[in-house]
Structure 1
């Protein structure tokens, strides 16, 4: 299953937004309205609860060359990854392409797809209002 969204224009430098996304603790504020729980596991991973889905642990990885970060499921039974790629529009603005890719049975996909679509819609709208300079 592949789902993606691209944010509207964000009025911050691409490097500023990338640096913000590169700090796992910042995902608590990014995801705040869409999750019921957030807890840091270690410096590179955290656990969240999205809607009626079970609590999931995510590991953060970054790719400096591509200005992208990823959040990969640490649960072998739920294999998926969120990718956030920051693209520069000009010196003072950028956008983020958010991708979700997961390997699920057709039954699991039917259960996961609606809340994940809602989650991606909300996150793509939320990130344009964040003050990335903090």
Structure 2
């Protein structure tokens, strides 16, 4: 299953955006209102939970300076990646788009498609004010 968030344009450089997203504790400021738990587990790993959902642990798997950050599932039964593509379009103007990739059976994909799409949309929308 592959999903994409809307693209957002930030009034920041790609470097500033990349540095913000590289520091995983900053993801707390991007989380939706219905977050019930957020905990930094390590310098590259955090746990979060949304109300009514199980805990999810994300670990920074890859970082390509100023252009891409890949967070992946760290443990649990589901294997997926959340990828942030960062593209500087002008000085102090950067586009960010999130991509979600995971292998799920059809039933699971149907159940999680809308919540994950809304989650990614919230993350990119909150980037406008958090970064």
Would you say same fold, with TM above 0.5?
A: yes
| Secondary structure of 1:47 counterpart | strand
What is the aligned-residue RMSD (CA, Å)?
Answer: 1.7
Secondary structure of 2:8 counterpart: coil
2:17–2:66: 8 Å Cα contact kept in structure 1? no
Query: What is the CA distance between 1:102 and its match in structure 2?
Result: 0.9
- Tell me if structure 2 keeps the 8 A contact 1:34–1:122: no
SS of residue paired to 2:9: coil
Q: Is the 8 A contact 2:18 2:65 kept in 1?
A: no
- Structure 1 counterpart of 2:95: 95
Q: Cα distance, 1:58 vs. partner?
A: 0.8
User: Deviating runs (4+, > 3 A) in structure 1?
Assistant: none
**What CA distance in whole angstroms lies between the structure 2 residues aligned with 1:35 and 1:60?**
20
The 5-angstrom pairing of residues 1-134 of structure 1 reads: 1-65=1-65, 67-130=67-130, 132=131
CA–CA distance in 2 between the matches of 1:58 and 1:101?
A: 13
> TM-score scaled to structure 1, two decimals?
0.88
* Cα deviation, residue 63, structure 1: 2.4
The one-character-per-residue Cα deviations of 1:4-41 (angstroms, maximum 9, x if unpaired) are 02332110111101111111111111225352210111
Distance 1:118 1:73, change over 3 A: same
CA distance in 2, matches of 1:99, 1:8: 13
1:85-134 Cα offsets, whole Å, 9 max, x none, are: 1100101110111000111111111211121111122222111122x2xx
Matched residues in 1 for 2:21 and 2:61: separation?
10
Indicate how the Cα distance of structure 1 residues 120 and 33 shifts in structure 2: closer, same or farther if over 3 A, else same: same
SS in 1 for 2:10: coil
